[in-house]
């Protein structure tokens, strides 16, 4: 690890003004710290967000669930509010990484990193969530731009995520056997504004499977999607799985997510 | 009469108290006054010539003590790393062992090859300085795949090994095999890949080198499975220091699985550098370095054929294998695909003739050497996948086909056509037990139930055999080994009756401190808490060949028994004197010495005390109670057994769920059943890892290691494993005084074949390891 400066502000505005061009926000550190240890990043300063209490916490306001950016995966997984409002979200959080990752990793850190195989992007896009920053609100679909790329501008900081509470939702993940990231994960939600199907792990960035959304809108059952294929071209291919296999998994996981939806 | 905590008792492991409370003594926790830290600059290329190395900027970086390169070691007269087992090719020529310097001199031959050793006041400073070293590389085209490396036109990795061939070896009677095949009613064929594995002990390798300028002594603390052998090689072949001036200590070591047998470049460089700078130097591998430089295992490509008659009897077996040695020949690499592999190809079967040929070659990859099982898993995989293929061709149940061809329990000693003499066993007993444990006959009903649920179900058998207790010296010497493979022990009574056992074996997870104490408790009646087992220090233990090849109990334990026998012999003389009887009338059982036909008796503790306070003592006897023994067995041991795996496969994803596992193993006599069961669990876990999850992958174009972390290299975890049904059948081994055979490698040997046979049985098609979900899914969906 290269040496760097370190700051731990107690407020969002303080954090935003502390960050410079070569600096990094430190959330749960579950990607950033290993990257630093391997000397693959050399920030001038880490601005640690763990001292900002307003970034933490879960609340339900009418038809909306709000999760603070520095809320850990384990807190989402164990939250009675989340389990009651969106059980699929609690279940998703309970399967991120391993216990150590869930005890440190945060929703804000995860979505800001936008790893193509992360779980949360599927939930945000699948539920039509809104990402709130210190500057603005961004729809989930606009937030996730491309591989490890988000709509965040320099110095912009995620403060919370708000999820519209769906009629029902389900998430099915096929974990990479080694890393346990999503080789392919599909989040399905039946919401007031229609059915949404979001796929993570299979492509360079989370995306909506609109053929499946159309089929499920008229018949919300596993059978409705089990015959719908996804074009393999453009999907990820690596030592763990080919694009063809990932395309197959989208179909299989979508059907399982629908079956699991509650 | 049985003894508390004696032989056969499932005693809890004495050593676990310190391990689970964080009080173990592991190398990276050790620090010395004035210690500096070493860090290796490694090659980023798979194959390149080194044109120049510019150290000037790095040497003036903050905190740098010194920086060394391969040229410095050569100039100091330090020799290259050696391979200690000579293999002779078909044409009579010795195997090719190209130079293997601890640090590269003119070329790098795999990603991670050592280029320079940076020593600084802190590790971070050493890493910072390493980034300032400028190496001029001329990058060459690498080759990583063994079949491609041995094909005409492949890049030439060492000029000493034309065509990248290390050796072309054969075993068995080719003419007899060819004749049998020519007349056979059936010939079954199979092509197999035995995937390359990374050993992944929990503790990475580490070294702490110290030099005493006053005495001229060097001390190397290192993560070794065999510190005496490390000292011998470093002294005799590398020229680090005379053997009497070099002390090697292997403290608590967190796993090895074979990978810590070998004498590596890093440990050698560290101890050499400590003398150069006259300061202690510590080097600890990080996990990335472990993936890049710990010797890998397996990596075979094999074609095999089996000839059978119309009654399902095996007539002959022939096997042709290409074995990947990696970039250099590691310490025992040459023996693994030859005498630890070809000699086991008779399996548990009566096969009239066998012929095996093995071409070993160099590639631009990490060196390959022994890994849990070493050659024997590869042999079992070939034999047992072959048996299933033949049974299928003959439309016979795979267990019936095996039972029909097994060597029978009354056939020992049994000489195989591949130079082994099996000494004992009962193969039908273990197979029938395993079948019963897993309800083999009920499989059809379970399969029907799975099919009704949309799942595929399969069952797979592996009847394995291994040659363990690696020894005897005369036999291995005749086959090319450069060392003897006996073991030593000293049993030393303290005057107050407690015992210290010095063993040349080395425990790095096996539980020797408990098992060996149980032997003393049983034989001499000493409570196990009063028995201390000392190992791993060349300055304390007389000598030792170390721990590998499931040899510690069969060879090291037998040496302890021999020392105990001497203790008993001497004690009888003392007892006779003290009880005024003749030695012939003294009877001994579990540490109690009595005069036959009387109620007179003395305990071992009383006799030991008398030996140290010899006020009333036989005039012709030396005082003291400590005995040394060296034990060299007459034969290998031959653990064998049957494992049966049952799987259910989801055809939509190809995911294999292991639903049941039965292991019936013949380990001979068992000292501690709990430890044995744990060894079976661990071995099977690694076997399952090989079959389903693990596999080292190199990019064939660049030679880069693609599986260089746990994000990409998949180790088995608890939720990948089923509950195991474990049982033992115990036919005592006639070749050692304990009647034990060894249990450490069995699971890793039997596991892959049993599991792959189950998967092939379920999907009806051959596939190679690891059987990843995608591979299984593709096989199910292919025509």
CA distances (Å), B683 to each of B197, B234, B369, B716, B739, in order?
14, 31, 18, 11, 22
Yes or no, beta carbons of A178 and B653 under 8 Å apart: no
Does A236 touch chain B if contact means CB atoms closer than 8 Å? no
A249 contacts in chain B (CB < 8 Å): 653
From CA B704, how far away is CA B683, in angstroms rounded?
29
Yes or no, beta carbons of A240 and B693 under 8 Å apart: no
Average pLDDT over every residue of B244-269 = 97
Q: Return the percentage of chain B with pLDDT > 70, whole number.
A: 100
From CA B415, how far away is CA B259, in angstroms rounded?
32
Interface of A with B in 145-184 (CB under 8 A): 174, 177-179, 181
Closest CA to B481 of B338, B633, B273: B338
Considering the domain architecture, whether residues A72 and A2 belong to the same structural domain is answered as no
In this prediction, residue B128 carries a pLDDT of 97
Per-residue pLDDT tens, chain A, 262 aa: give them.
999 999 999 999 999 999 999 999 999 999 999 999 999 999 999 999 999 999 999 999 999 999 999 999 999 999 999 999 999 999 999 999 999 999 999 999 999 999 999 999 999 999 999 999 999 999 999 999 999 999 999 999 999 999 999 999 999 999 999 999 999 999 999 999 899 999 999 999 999 999 999 999 999 999 999 999 999 999 999 999 999 999 999 999 999 999 999 9
State whether residue B395 is helix, strand or coil.
coil
Yes or no, beta carbons of B711 and A239 under 8 Å apart: no
Closest CA to B596 of B576, B625, B567: B576
Is it the case that residue B173 has pLDDT exceeding 70?
Answer: yes
Considering the domain architecture, whether residues A48 and A97 belong to the same structural domain is answered as no
Beta strands A194-200 and A182-191, pairing class: antiparallel
In this prediction, residue B3 carries a pLDDT of 84
CATH number at residue A136: 3.30.465.10
Considering the domain architecture, whether residues A192 and A260 belong to the same structural domain is answered as yes
State whether residue A123 is helix, strand or coil.
helix
Yes or no, beta carbons of B711 and A179 under 8 Å apart: yes
Average pLDDT over every residue of B232-240 = 94
Nearest CB to B774; choose among A38, A178, A241: A241
Does A1 touch chain B if contact means CB atoms closer than 8 Å? yes
Cβ-Cβ pairs closer than 8 A, A with B, add up to: 41
B127 contacts in chain A (CB < 8 Å): 39
Neighbours of B57 (CB within 10 A): 12
From CA A177, how far away is CA A181, in angstroms rounded?
8
In angstroms, the separation between the Cα of residue A77 and the nearest Cα of chain B is: 20
Count how many Cα atoms sit within 13 Å of the Cα of residue A87 in the half-sphere of its side chain: 9
Instruction: Extract the runs of DSSP E, i.e. beta strands, from B144-292.
Output: 165-172, 186-194, 206-212, 217-222, 246-249, 281-284
Yes or no, beta carbons of B127 and A39 under 8 Å apart: yes
Considering the domain architecture, whether residues A99 and A201 belong to the same structural domain is answered as yes
For residue A237, what is the nearest residue in chain B, using CA coordinates? Answer: B774
In this prediction, residue B549 carries a pLDDT of 87
In the block, residue with structure tokens 């995520």: A161
Closest CA to B377 of B410, B425, B336: B336
* Angle in degrees, CA B141, B145, B150, rounded to 5: 85
DSSP A5-54: EEE--SSHHHHHHH--TT-EEESS-TTHHHHHHTT----SEEEEGGG-GG
In this prediction, residue B1 carries a pLDDT of 56
The DSSP call for residue B67 is: E
Considering the domain architecture, whether residues A175 and A243 belong to the same structural domain is answered as yes
For residue A174, what is the nearest residue in chain B, using CA coordinates? Answer: B653
Rg of chain B over Cα atoms, rounded to whole angstroms, equals 27
Q: In B107-262, which ranges are continuous DSSP H helix? A: 123-130, 146-149, 174-182, 227-236
Neighbours of B451 (CB within 10 A): 11
The DSSP call for residue B401 is: H
CATH number at residue A21: 3.30.43.10
For residue A97, what is the nearest residue in chain B, using CA coordinates? Answer: B711
Q: Which residues pair with B668 in a beta bridge?
A: B740
Domains B31-140+204-254+260-293 and B421-461+639-783 share a fold: no
In angstroms, the separation between the Cα of residue A124 and the nearest Cα of chain B is: 24
In angstroms, the separation between the Cα of residue B377 and the nearest Cα of chain A is: 23
Domain count, chain A: 2
From CA B240, how far away is CA B271, in angstroms rounded?
8
Contacts (Cβ under 8 Å, ≥6 apart) of A12: A52, A54, A55, A134, A157, A159
Q: Best mutation site among B125, B196, B653 for testing chain A: the one with the most A CBs within 10 Å? A: B653
In angstroms, the separation between the Cα of residue B125 and the nearest Cα of chain A is: 10
From CA A198, how far away is CA A186, in angstroms rounded?
6
> Of A54, A69, A98, which marks where a domain is finished?
A54
Does B774 touch chain A if contact means CB atoms closer than 8 Å? yes
Q: Which residues pair with B462 in a beta bridge?
A: B643
- Burial (CB < 10 A; 0-12, 13-18, 19+), residue B776, is buried
Q: Best mutation site among B196, B777, B779 for testing chain A: the one with the most A CBs within 10 Å? A: B777
> Of A38, A54, A70, which marks where a domain is finished?
A54
In the block, residue with structure tokens 């608590």: B252
Yes or no, beta carbons of A252 and B652 under 8 Å apart: yes
B482 band by pLDDT with thresholds 50, 70 and 90:
confident
Does B483 touch chain A if contact means CB atoms closer than 8 Å? no
Nearest CB to A178; choose among B652, B714, B778: B714
CA distances (Å), B631 to each of B409, B469, B483, B558, in order?
28, 12, 14, 7
ipTM: 0.96
In this prediction, residue B758 carries a pLDDT of 98
Yes or no, beta carbons of A239 and B652 under 8 Å apart: no
Q: Do B627 and B562 contact (CB within 8 A), yes or no?
A: no
B370 band by pLDDT with thresholds 50, 70 and 90:
very high
CATH class of B144-195+296-407: alpha beta
For residue B131, what is the nearest residue in chain A, using CA coordinates? Answer: A39
- Give the CATH fold of the B421-461+639-783 domain: Aldehyde Oxidoreductase; domain 4 (3.30.365)
Q: What average pLDDT is seen over chain B?
A: 96
Nearest CB to B653; choose among A1, A242, A249: A249
Q: Best mutation site among A245, A256, A257 for testing chain B: the one with the most B CBs within 10 Å? A: A245
A38 contacts in chain B (CB < 8 Å): 288
Considering the domain architecture, whether residues A63 and A34 belong to the same structural domain is answered as no
- Give the CATH fold of the B16-23+486-631 domain: Aldehyde Oxidoreductase; domain 4 (3.30.365)
Q: How far is CA B669 from the centre of its chain?
A: 21
Yes or no, beta carbons of A245 and B778 under 8 Å apart: yes
B61 contacts in chain A (CB < 8 Å): none
The DSSP call for residue B13 is: P
Q: Which residues pair with B628 in a beta bridge?
A: B490
Does A245 touch chain B if contact means CB atoms closer than 8 Å? yes
Nearest CB to A177; choose among B124, B128, B693: B693
Considering the domain architecture, whether residues A109 and A227 belong to the same structural domain is answered as yes
In this prediction, residue B516 carries a pLDDT of 97
In angstroms, the separation between the Cα of residue A243 and the nearest Cα of chain B is: 11
Considering the domain architecture, whether residues A49 and A155 belong to the same structural domain is answered as no
Does B1 touch chain A if contact means CB atoms closer than 8 Å? no
Yes or no, beta carbons of B288 and A248 under 8 Å apart: no
CATH 3.90.1170.50 fits B31-140+204-254+260-293, yes or no: yes
From CA B23, how far away is CA A155, in angstroms rounded?
46
Average pLDDT over every residue of B536-563 = 93
Please report which helix (H) or strand (E) contains residue B602, including its range: strand B601-603
Considering the domain architecture, whether residues A17 and A63 belong to the same structural domain is answered as no
The DSSP call for residue B406 is: B
Is it the case that residue B114 has pLDDT exceeding 80?
Answer: yes
In the block, residue with structure tokens 């926000």: A25
Q: Which residues pair with A138 in a beta bridge?
A: A131
Is it the case that residue B471 has pLDDT exceeding 80?
Answer: no
The CB-based long-range contact list for A98-105 (8 Å cut-off, 24+ gap) reads: A98/A180, A99/A74, A101/A30, A101/A73, A102/A72, A102/A73, A102/A74, A102/A77, A103/A72, A103/A73, A103/A74, A104/A28, A104/A29, A104/A30, A104/A72, A105/A27, A105/A28, A105/A30, A105/A72, A105/A73
Give the residue numbers spanning the domain of A15: 1-54
Considering the domain architecture, whether residues A2 and A36 belong to the same structural domain is answered as yes
Yes or no, beta carbons of A174 and B653 under 8 Å apart: yes
Considering the domain architecture, whether residues A132 and A29 belong to the same structural domain is answered as no
Yes or no, beta carbons of A3 and B778 under 8 Å apart: no
In angstroms, the separation between the Cα of residue B116 and the nearest Cα of chain A is: 19
Does B773 touch chain A if contact means CB atoms closer than 8 Å? yes
In this prediction, residue B550 carries a pLDDT of 87
Q: In B312-416, which ranges are continuous DSSP H helix? A: 376-393, 398-405
A178 contacts in chain B (CB < 8 Å): 693, 710-715
Yes or no, beta carbons of B124 and A177 under 8 Å apart: no
Q: Do B690 and B300 contact (CB within 8 A), yes or no?
A: no
Average pLDDT over every residue of B32-46 = 98
Yes or no, beta carbons of A177 and B773 under 8 Å apart: yes
Considering the domain architecture, whether residues A32 and A67 belong to the same structural domain is answered as no
Closest CA to A159 of A2, A8, A25, A20: A25
In this prediction, residue B455 carries a pLDDT of 98
Q: Do B466 and B420 contact (CB within 8 A), yes or no?
A: no
Structural tokens at position B211: 């030099």
Yes or no, beta carbons of B288 and A38 under 8 Å apart: yes
Domain positions in chain B are: 16-23+486-631, 31-140+204-254+260-293, 144-195+296-407, 421-461+639-783
């Amino acid at each position: 690890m290269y040496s760097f400066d370190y700051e731990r502000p107690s407020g969002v505005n303080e954090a935003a003004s502390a960050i410079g061009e070569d600096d990094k926000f430190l959330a749960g550190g579950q990607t950033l710290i290993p990257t630093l240890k391997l000397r693959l990043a050399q920030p001038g300063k880490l601005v640690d967000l763990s001292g900002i209490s307003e970034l933490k916490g879960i609340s339900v306001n009418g038809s909306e669930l709000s999760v603070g950016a520095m809320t850990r995966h384990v807190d989402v997984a164990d939250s009675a509010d989340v389990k009651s409002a969106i059980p699929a979200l609690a279940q998703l959080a309970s399967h991120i990484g391993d216990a150590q990752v869930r005890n440190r990793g945060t929703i804000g850190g995860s979505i800001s990193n936008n790893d193509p195989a992360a779980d949360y992007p599927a939930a945000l896009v699948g539920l039509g969530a809104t990402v709130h920053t210190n500057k603005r609100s961004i729809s989930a679909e606009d937030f996730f731009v491309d591989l490890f790329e988000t709509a965040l501008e320099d110095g912009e900081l995620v403060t919370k995520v708000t999820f519209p509470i769906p009629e029902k939702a389900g998430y099915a993940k096929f974990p990479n056997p080694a890393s346990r990231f999503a080789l392919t994960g599909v989040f399905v939600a039946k919401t007031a504004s229609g059915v949404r199907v979001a796929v993570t792990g299979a492509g360079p960035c989370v995306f909506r499977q609109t053929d499946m959304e159309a089929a499920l809108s008229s018949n919300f059952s596993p059978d409705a999607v089990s015959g719908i294929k996804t074009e393999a071209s453009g999907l990820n291919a690596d030592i763990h799985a080919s694009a063809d296999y990932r395309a197959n998994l989208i179909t299989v996981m979508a059907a399982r997510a629908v079956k699991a939806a509650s | 009469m049985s003894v508390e905590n004696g032989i056969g008792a499932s005693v809890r492991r004495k050593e676990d108290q310190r391990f689970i409370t964080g009080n173990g003594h592991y190398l990276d926790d050790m620090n010395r006054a004035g210690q500096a830290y070493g860090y290796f600059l490694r090659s980023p290329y798979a194959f390149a010539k080194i044109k120049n190395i510019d150290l000037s900027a790095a040497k003036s970086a903050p905190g740098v003590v010194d920086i060394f390169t391969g040229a410095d070691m050569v100039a100091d007269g330090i020799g290259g790393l050696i391979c200690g087992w000579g293999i002779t090719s078909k044409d009579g020529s010795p195997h090719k062992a190209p130079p293997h310097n601890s640090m590269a001199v003119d070329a790098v031959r795999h990603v991670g090859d050592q280029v320079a050793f940076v020593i600084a006041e802190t590790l971070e400073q050493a890493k910072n300085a390493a980034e300032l070293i400028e190496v001029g590389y001329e990058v060459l085209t690498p080759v990583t795949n063994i079949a491609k490396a041995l094909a005409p036109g492949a890049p030439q990795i060492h000029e000493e090994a034309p065509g990248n061939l290390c050796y072309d070896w054969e075993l068995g009677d080719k003419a007899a095999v060819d004749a049998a095949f020519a007349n056979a009613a059936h010939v079954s064929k199979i092509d197999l890949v035995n995937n390359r594995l990374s050993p992944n002990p929990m503790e990475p390798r580490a070294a702490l080198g110290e030099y005493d300028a006053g005495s001229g002594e060097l001390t190397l603390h290192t993560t070794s499975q065999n510190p005496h052998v490390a000292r011998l090689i470093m002294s005799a072949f590398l020229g680090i220091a005379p053997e009497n001036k070099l002390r090697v200590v292997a403290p608590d070591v967190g796993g090895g699985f074979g990978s810590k047998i070998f004498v590596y470049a890093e440990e050698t460089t560290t101890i050499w550098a400590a003398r150069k700078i006259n300061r202690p130097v510590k080097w600890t591998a990080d996990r990335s370095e472990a993936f890049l430089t710990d010797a890998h295992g397996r990596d075979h490509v094999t074609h095999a054929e089996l000839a059978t008659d119309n009654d399902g009897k095996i007539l002959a077996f022939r096997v042709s294998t290409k074995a990947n040695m990696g970039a250099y020949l590691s310490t025992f690499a040459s023996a693994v695909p030859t005498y630890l592999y070809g000699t086991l190809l008779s399996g548990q079967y009566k096969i009239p003739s066998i012929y095996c040929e093995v071409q070993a070659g160099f590639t631009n990859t990490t060196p390959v050497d022994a890994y849990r099982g070493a050659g024997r898993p590869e042999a079992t995989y070939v034999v047992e996948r072959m048996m299933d293929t033949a049974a299928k061709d003959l439309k016979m149940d795979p267990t019936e086909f095996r039972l029909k061809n097994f060597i029978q329990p009354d056939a020992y000693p049994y000489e195989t056509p591949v130079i082994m003499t099996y000494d004992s066993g009962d193969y039908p007993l273990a197979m029938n037990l395993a079948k019963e444990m897993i309800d083999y006959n009920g499989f059809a009903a379970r399969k029907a139930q799975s099919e009704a649920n949309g799942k595929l179900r399969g069952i797979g058998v592996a009847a394995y055999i291994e040659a363990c207790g690696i020894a005897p010296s005369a036999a291995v010497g005749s086959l090319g080994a450069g060392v003897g493979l006996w073991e030593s022990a000293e049993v030393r009574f303290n005057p107050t009756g407690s015992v210290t056992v010095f063993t040349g074996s080395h425990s790095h997870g096996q539980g020797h401190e408990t098992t060996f104490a149980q032997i003393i408790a049983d034989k001499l009646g000493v409570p196990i808490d009063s028995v201390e087992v000392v190992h791993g220090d060349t300055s304390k233990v007389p000598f030792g060949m170390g721990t590998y090849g499931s040899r510690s109990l069969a060879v090291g334990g037998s040496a302890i028994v021999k020392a105990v026998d001497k203790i008993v012999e001497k004690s009888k003389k003392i007892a006779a004197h003290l009880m005024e009887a003749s030695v012939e009338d003294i009877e001994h059982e579990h540490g109690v010495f009595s005069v036959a036909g009387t109620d007179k008796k003395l305990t071992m503790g009383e006799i030991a005390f008398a030996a140290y306070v010899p006020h009333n003592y036989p005039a012709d006897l030396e005082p003291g109670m400590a005995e040394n023994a060296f034990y060299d067995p007459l034969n290998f041991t031959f653990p064998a057994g049957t494992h049966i795996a049952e799987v259910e496969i989801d055809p939509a994803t190809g995911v294999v769920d292991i639903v049941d596992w039965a292991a019936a193993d013949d380990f001979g006599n068992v000292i501690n059943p709990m430890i044995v069961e744990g060894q079976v669990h661990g071995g099977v876990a690694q076997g399952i890892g090989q079959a389903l999850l693990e596999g080292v992958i190199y990019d064939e174009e660049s030679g880069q290691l693609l599986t260089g972390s746990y994000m990409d290299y998949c180790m088995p975890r608890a939720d990948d494993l089923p509950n195991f049904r474990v049982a033992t059948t115990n036919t005592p081994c006639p070749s050692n005084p304990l009647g034990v055979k060894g249990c450490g490698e069995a699971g890793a040997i039997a596991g892959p074949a049993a599991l792959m046979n189950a998967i092939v049985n379920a999907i009806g098609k051959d596939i190679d390891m690891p059987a990843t979900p995608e591979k299984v899914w593709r096989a199910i969906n292919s025509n």
